[in-house]
Amino acid sequence: MNHINIEIKAKCKDCGEIRSILKSQSADFKGIDHQIDTYFKVNHGRLKLREGNIENHLIFYKRNNQKGPKQSDVILFKSNPNFPLKEILSNALGILVIVDKKREIYFIDNVKFHIDEVKRLGSFVEIEAIDKDGSIGKKKLLQQCKKYMNLLGIKDKDLISTSYSDLLSKVL
């Protein structure tokens, strides 16, 4: 499945406050997922295998490293945790880095929210305004992302321009 996101990632100083705001907006809580994201060495973009209790996907995406709302072009493939996909990709491409996180997942309409606790990195919040079929458009996605940044009190100084894989590569 191909789609686009307009998304942000930010340091989260008060996850309880974010959680409370999402609940006050009647966000649909999908659960807490312990996710292991294995990033593979690729020539362009990012390729990761997400293994979790809720989400299991092979994910390829291209995104510029920039603070603030940015577009991600995403291809998702629902993976079966019982298949040896990780072993195949590890042997073929090599592992770049492994991200271990606990993720709370919420939705309001087409907007997905994550409250993440990432091993060795700390707490983060993500907003992903998602257009799965081209019916929403980039302009509306950007408006949604900015609206929820304001609602959640996310400041420009808290924004992160890179992925968890990039952040972890710096601390390892």
DSSP of 95-155: EEEEEEEEEEEEEETTEEEEEEEETTTEEEEEEEEEESSSSS-HHHHHHHHHHHHHHHT--
Bridge-based pairing state of the strands 70-78 and 2-11:
antiparallel
Question: How many domains does the chain divide into?
Answer: 1
119: tokens are: 């091993």
Tens of pLDDT, residue by residue over 133-166, are: 989 999 999 999 999 999 999 999 999 999 999 9
Domain that holds residue 104: 2-171
Q: Look up the CATH number of the domain holding residue 121.
A: 2.40.320.10
Beta bridge pairs of residue 65: none
Note the pLDDT of residue 104. 98
Tens of pLDDT, residue by residue over 83-142, are: 999 999 999 999 999 999 999 999 999 999 999 999 999 999 999 999 999 899 999 999
